[in-house]
Amino acid sequence: MSHRAHGLSRNRGQIGEMRSRLIAIHFLQRQDVSVQSADSISKPIKIDHPVVDRAAVQDVECRQPHGKKVPIIAEQSPPLWDTADESPLRTALKYSASALKADGIPFSLGGGYALWVHGGPEPSHDVDLVVAETDVEMAANSMAAAGLRIERPPEDWLFKAYLDDSSTDAVEEPALVDVLHRLAGIPVTSALLETSVEYEVLGIRISVLPPTPIMIAKLLSFSEHYCDFEQPLLVVRAIREQLDWADIRRATQDHPFAEAFLFLAERLGVVPPF
């Protein structure tokens, strides 16, 4: 601790040297510390660190701690998915894709987020990843090991992975990642994944499916129970130049709901005339 000269000495009433006094403190304990000087001026300093115990000696060979434990100051880090400026779906996308990449499991980004990469609107419901049907269990195990909660719905063409934020008591639904291994009832193969193109998505290099097979699968999913054209119309308006319309018409020619969508899109001037 430094001292300052030319202070007013209380004892002699003259210009002299004032020295501060050092006080021993225990930094591992919560206590108030005062900086005391010769003129009795005190400034309290609060020290409040989390203290945990760690073994003083580690059995390196067996990787087991033994012996007396000593206190250490622990650093508290937020959860990996605690990102204030990022949507939960974006975080779930990065977290799940990083897990699959780390374990070397082939996959591609599909669904609405793949169309978003190609220029469509960003989805707000879920993230779709696509894996080969032969790699389903490896993908589920990889994502579970990375901390995602895996659910097996009755549908036999996907499984669901949830990124729960256990750091808060929020009642909001956790971010959802659908991992698909069939598209429009057709098993996903390595040949389909190889048609993907790698893009940098949110700072991670990810293989992304081309837009045409995604739109085909979307149109073939329309039925009497679900036939909402709003979002697909927004998508095709944004990326129509990137879609192979001849391929889409061939793949959907015997599906009346898909044909109805294409007829409407053509009448609106979104799709080129057949």
Domain boundaries, the chain: 88-267
Task: Please state, in angstroms and rounded to a whole number, the distance separating the CA atoms of residues 56 and 58.
Answer: 7
Mean pLDDT estimate for the chain? 79
Residue with structure tokens 């095709």?
236
The pTM of this model reads 0.68
Report which of 243, 238, 264 is spatially closest to residue 122, judged by C-alpha positions. Answer: 238
Cβ within 8 Å of residue 165, ≥6 positions away: 79, 81, 82, 88, 174
85 confidence band (pLDDT: 50, 70, 90): low
Cα–Cα separations (whole angstroms), residue 120 to 35, 58, 175, 239 = 62, 54, 20, 6
The stretch 3-23 carries a mean pLDDT of 48
* pLDDT reading at 75 higher than 50: no
Please tell me the CATH code under which domain 88-267 is placed.
Answer: 3.30.460.40
- Alpha-carbon gap, residue 207 to 116, rounded angstroms: 13
Question: Tens digits of per-residue pLDDT, 111-133?
Answer: 999 999 999 999 999 999 999 99
Flag whether pLDDT at 269 surpasses 60: yes
Of the pLDDT bands very low, low, confident and very high (cuts 50, 70, 90), residue 173 is confident
67: tokens are 């012996």
Residue 21 reports pLDDT greater than 90: no
Alpha carbon of 156 to those of 126, 131, 136, 220: distances in Å? 18, 14, 11, 17
User: Which residues, 6 or more positions from 114, have their beta carbon under 8 angstroms from its beta carbon?
Assistant: 108, 128, 208, 209, 211, 214
Answer yes or no: is pLDDT of 264 > 90: yes
- The answer on pLDDT for 155 being more than 60 is yes
Q: What is the pLDDT of residues 214-240, one digit of tens each?
A: 999 999 999 999 999 999 999 999 999
